[in-house]
Copies of this chain bind each other. A is one copy, B any other.
């Protein structure tokens, strides 16, 4: 075993040990939320957490919890975290008792949420050429995670959320995002109107995505700053919002409206990012 791991390794033999209390009964705690903390799981996600740890305004790791039989296999990942991040090591039965279910992934992190920023301050810090994804009323954690994953794929600079959208740092959303919920900056404004106001004030061209959009995404000319707004799959974006913006649609087979909202967002982001010269 790697010596640097040995230095900060804390063996936990009792699930009631207060040092692992933040990991107790993960699923139930997911439901009630946490005070400025999140739980991340799995090596892919923890690699992203290691990437962003210590960067200003980004999430950081507070402690790690690892199955003892996984320790050697993930030593290089664990070594990416500084020594002041405690590393708790537990045998399998203790892990399952702590988390409250069989934890196949075997590696968890407790993270600290960065101080929230307003949409206005996030937007004012954007580069001159910027691409932003805006989520309105997205309450499903799978969809939220997928939006972050796709935003990262096509180099979006940030996500903006309304007050009805769920928490991107909920465990499942982080997992579905393959960690990009930790990487892509986001900010929240309470209403869609507030989001649109901030975007307009920062000279963003605002497109709303809808199966009934006026024009196709291919027909949109790119500008230096673009925002694409997506709503829920069932209800879609409020009519008032669509009527005040340029609504665009993804072309589908005649008579079909089949796209998942995160997939539709991916297609729109890909088209815009290509036009903006942002893709490899």
Contacts and interface: CB of A to CB of B under 8 A. Distances in A.
Interface in A233-267: 250-256, 258-260, 262-263, 266-267
Interface stretch (A55-63, A73-81, A148-156): A148-156
Contacts of A175: none
Contacts of A253: 152-155, 273, 278-280
Nearest to A265: B263
Given A250-B270, A266-B266, A267-B270, A153 B280 contact: no
A105 to B, nearest CB: 14
Nearest to A154: B253
A270 B256 CA distance: 13
A137 to B, nearest CB: 19
When all copies of this chain in the complex are counted, the total is 2
Interface residues of A, number: 30
A146 interface: yes
Given A253-B278, A279-B253, A258 B152 contact: yes
Interface string A138-180: 0000000010011011110000000000000000000000101
Nearest to A153: B258
A194 interface: no
Contacts of A126: none
A254 B155 CA distance: 8
Interface of A: 146, 149-150, 152-155, 178, 180, 218, 250-256, 258-260, 262-263, 266-267, 270, 273-274, 278-280
8 contacts: A152-B253, A153-B258, A154-B252, A155-B254, A251-B274, A253-B279, A266-B266, A267-B270
Given A150-B263, A152-B256, A251-B270, 15 more contacts: A146-B260, A149-B263, A153-B252, A153-B263, A154-B253, A155-B254, A178-B258, A250-B270, A251-B279, A253-B273, A256-B280, A259-B266, A263-B266, A266-B266, A266-B267
